[in-house]
Amino acid sequence: MPRYKLTIEYDGTPFGGWQRQENAPTVQEALEQAVLSMTGESVTVIGAGRTDAGVHALGQVAHVDLARAFPGERLRGGLNFHLRPAPIAVLGAESVDDNFHARFSAIRRHYLYRIVNRRSPLVLDRDRAWHVARPLDVAAMHAAARHLIGKHDFTTFRSAHCQSASPVKTLDLLSVSRSGEIVEIRTNARSFLHNQVRSMVGSLKLVGEGSWTPADMAAALQARDRAACGMVAPPWGLYLTQVDYPPAPVSE
């Protein structure tokens, strides 16, 4: 049974998240319906990251097993035709080995969080970024972010509904930068706890506004207590930008 790797972009605004559920439309459900419409097959599309309601993706990765083989270009085009008018696009479709698993084979996930830091309300970036009116000290935010890099117990930044077996994660990158009124927070790790990125961003905002110091961020991490976390940033500023996998073996 051929397996295909799909690279997917979507606007998370109208969806209840990636994972199929009974009471809201989801990205997984839309993709599975597109496969059914194109091939007549009822399948399960497995994603690399279970993004929450309102979270966007520039480079989500999924895999799907089909009963018959398709050229990648044809599969991509057919799925995009049947996905319309949903705000989902399949950017690439390629045949992969049966050992490839979109979720378990991933070695790194990259996220971007966008803040628009200005007094005026958002128009074009509405539902695409977090509007923060108070001036943000990006240098202080970046200094605070450095306390979270590395292997830590991230209980403070973990949702009460998180199903991960352990709160210990290794954060490879957490950086804060500004370009004009746009503040970008970038992070990557092999995996994240539920709401970890949005929880970290909410606390970084407190540092940027001057309510916390960078040392307060370190203390919050060490507290290992959800009550020590700042507010959870809203989902609409978060983007899953890329998922990394081991390089494919080179055939001799």
What pLDDT is recorded for position 65? 97
Query: Do both 144 and 201 map to the same domain?
Result: yes
Q: Residue 231: which H helix or E strand, with range?
A: none
Catalytic residues: 52
Amino acid at 162: C
Contact between 39 and 68 (Cβ < 8 Å):
yes
d(CA 90, CA 83): 9
Q: How many residues does the chain have?
A: 252
| 247 φ, ψ (degrees, to nearest 5) | -60, 145
Q: Where are the alpha helices (DSSP H) in the chain?
A: 27-39, 72-83, 138-145, 196-209, 214-223
The whole domain housing 67 covers 3-104
| 113 φ, ψ (degrees, to nearest 5) | -120, 130
Query: Do both 92 and 134 map to the same domain?
Result: no
Total domain count, the chain: 2
Cα 233 from chain centroid (whole Å): 13
> Ramachandran region of residue 127, left (φ > 0), alpha (ψ -120 to 50) or beta?
left
Query: Do both 50 and 86 map to the same domain?
Result: yes
Contacts of 87 by beta carbon, 8 Å cutoff, 6+ apart: 10, 11, 13, 14
Work out whether strand 56-65 and strand 238-244 pair parallel, antiparallel, or are unpaired: parallel
Last residue of a domain, one of 74, 104, 134: 104
Is 250 within the bounds of a domain? no
Q: What is the 3-state secondary structure (H, E, C) of 6-30?
A: EEEEECCCCCCECCCCCCCCCHHHH
Query: Do both 134 and 225 map to the same domain?
Result: yes
d(CA 86, CA 50): 18
pLDDT along the chain (252 residues), means of 10: 96 97 95 97 96 97 96 97 98 96 98 98 97 98 98 95 91 98 98 97 98 98 96 97 87 51
Last residue of a domain, one of 70, 88, 104: 104
Residue 239 sits in a domain whose CATH number is: 3.30.70.660
Query: Do both 134 and 38 map to the same domain?
Result: no
Residue 33 sits in a domain whose CATH number is: 3.30.70.580
Query: Do both 113 and 97 map to the same domain?
Result: no
